[in-house]
């Protein structure tokens, strides 16, 4: 069981740390210091690995939590923890499989419209991109909040 707890803790800290790093350090610094097209290209190369990490860590967390805390022994805080982990995984899946590819496609289409100097299409795609990016940001915020809730319970029960 100690190894399973280690795997669980490693998966959570690696995922949560990566999530916070990407959201609050990497993306803002790159956005501020790179041209928009370059920033979008860099993010498009990083996101597949970021989402894969989320899928793997999220699955590992849900599975190991169930091994460490069998359903028949659940107490209310287990329900809160499992809900937080499932929300993290589900909204990460939504980001990576649904909204992320849509944002990437809109970015490419908008760039092509800009190069073609089709201002009406640029404006339309910019609005669509903004909506899709807003949904992606909301999903990311939900993952951060759910992770913070889980982290709170994890720290509360932690013993050295």
**Is residue 160 predicted with pLDDT exceeding 80?**
no
pLDDT the model gives residue 106 = 95
Q: Tell me the pTM.
A: 0.92
Q: What burial letters (b/e) apply to 75-88, b meaning 16+ CB within 10 Å?
A: eeebeebbebbebb
Show the 3-state SS of 9-64: HHHHHHHHHHHHHHHHHHHHHHHHHCCHHHHHHHHHHHHHHHHHHHHHHHHHHHHH
State both tokens at 119: 């201002």
State both tokens at 8: 């669980």
pLDDT the model gives residue 73 = 82
**C-alpha dist (Å) from residue 104 to 49, 129, 159:** 15, 9, 43
**Is residue 43 predicted with pLDDT exceeding 80?**
yes
pLDDT the model gives residue 71 = 81
Taking the CA atoms of the chain, what radius of gyration do you get in angstroms?
Answer: 19
Rounded Cα distance, 124 and 39, in Å: 21
Query: What percent of the chain lies above the pLDDT cut of 90?
Result: 89
Domains in the chain: boundaries:
2-156
């Amino acid at each position: 069981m100690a190894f399973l707890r280690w795997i669980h803790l490693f998966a959570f800290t690696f995922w949560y740390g990566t999530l916070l790093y990407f959201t609050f350090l990497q993306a803002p610094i790159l956005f501020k210091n790179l041209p928009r097209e370059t920033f979008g290209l860099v993010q498009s190369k990083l996101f597949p690995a970021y989402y894969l990490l989320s899928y793997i860590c999220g699955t590992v967390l849900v599975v190991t939590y169930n091994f460490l805390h069998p359903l028949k022994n659940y107490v209310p805080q287990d329900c809160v923890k499992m809900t937080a982990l499932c929300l993290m995984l589900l909204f990460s899946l939504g980001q990576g499989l649904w909204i992320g590819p849509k944002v990437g496609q809109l970015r490419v289409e908008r760039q092509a419209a800009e190069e073609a100097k089709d201002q009406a299409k640029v404006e339309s795609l910019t609005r669509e991109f903004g909506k899709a990016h807003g949904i992606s940001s909301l999903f990311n915020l939900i993952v951060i909040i759910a992770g913070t809730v889980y982290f709170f319970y994890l720290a509360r029960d932690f013993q050295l």
